[in-house]
Structure 1
Amino acid sequence: MMKSACIILLLFFTNLKSHVVYSRIDDLIDNITNCFRTGNSKELSFYLSSTVSLSLLEESNTYSKNQAEILLHNFFDRHTFRSGKILHRMETNASNRYAVVELISSTEKFRVSLSLKNFNSKFLITDIRIDVVK
């Protein structure tokens, strides 16, 4: 009887732990999406890795975290978004995450593809691709 109760408790806490991990990941993607939607490059920079591959409307290069923040800040200055939503997220790999976000301004729609990598138990953005949806 005692052994069964211990097994049930172990299964419960294992399930609870995995749920908490997924919730934090969901919060991460939601927080990043909110940074894009609100145009907050300063807060978004907390989620950037030390170098970021950034493809921003036909221009692509690898930038330092600070350079990427400035480029994103300039992009946000030119575009004010009415809404932003997550179109797709892939979180099945323990070391990588991927998300696709749609941003809508008053005149244009953008598709933002994000790749995140696990650095010492913290997921950081390594790749950003922003394209106009035609």
Structure 2
Amino acid sequence: MTSVLSLIISIFFLVQPSELEIAIPDSIEIVIAAIDSGSSSDLAKYFDSSVSLNVNGLQGDYSKNQAELVLKDFFKKNPSMGFNLVFRSENNPSLSSYIGDYQTGQGVFKVFIKVSQQASDFRIYSLEFVKG
């Protein structure tokens, strides 16, 4: 009887995806959607407490709230015409990098996103929008 119970429990754990496997793709997809829609408030939900930000030459380390205001101004001046992720580097489980193209009426901006992952905590610690 105990061997049958052990078998059932083993199968249950093999079939269940781990929380970490779910958190990373879902989080980056939400970040991509926030950039695509030009939503600084949705994007700021994933900022670390301090964010290294470069928005077309305006560089610095900002608090979460300050970074949101800088991006709100950027998105207002450069409304989104689409965002396309072109590169993923997810080799290191705790640090990942992404590169994308942010389309606006004024041209294309390369976007560099760096995130840290601790358990299920997904945080952007560096973000750059550089006109290409």
Q: TM-score, normalised by structure 1?
A: 0.83
For residues 14 and 87 of structure 2, the distance between their equivalents in structure 1, rounded to whole angstroms, comes to 27
Unpaired runs of at least 5, structure 1: none
- Equivalent position amino acid for 1:80 in 2: P
Match status 1:6 vs 2:7: yes
* 1:62 paired residue number: 61
* Aligned partners of 2:44 and 2:68 also within 8 Å: yes
Partner SS, residue 127 of structure 1: strand
> How many matched pairs?
129
User: Cα distance 1:62–1:17, how it changes in 2: closer, same or farther (>3 A)?
Assistant: same
* 2:81 paired residue number: 82
* 2:17 paired residue number: 17
What are the superposed Cα offsets for residues 88-113 of structure 1, whole Å, 9 maximum, x if unpaired? 11222221121112111123111110
For residues 58 and 91 of structure 2, the distance between their equivalents in structure 1, rounded to whole angstroms, comes to 30
What are the superposed Cα offsets for residues 32-74 of structure 1, whole Å, 9 maximum, x if unpaired? 0111111111111100011000011112110111110000000
Unpaired runs of at least 5, structure 2: none
For residues 92 and 14 of structure 2, the distance between their equivalents in structure 1, rounded to whole angstroms, comes to 19
Aligned 1:103-122 pairs, distance under 5 A: 103-119=102-118, 121-122=120-121
For residues 27 and 33 of structure 2, the distance between their equivalents in structure 1, rounded to whole angstroms, comes to 10
* 1:41 paired residue number: 40
For residues 99 and 12 of structure 1, the distance between their equivalents in structure 2, rounded to whole angstroms, comes to 34
* Aligned partners of 2:78 and 2:106 also within 8 Å: no
Q: TM-score, normalised by structure 2?
A: 0.84
Partner SS, residue 94 of structure 1: coil
Percent identity over paired residues: 26
CA-atom RMSD in angstroms: 2.2
User: Cα distance 1:62–1:79, how it changes in 2: closer, same or farther (>3 A)?
Assistant: same
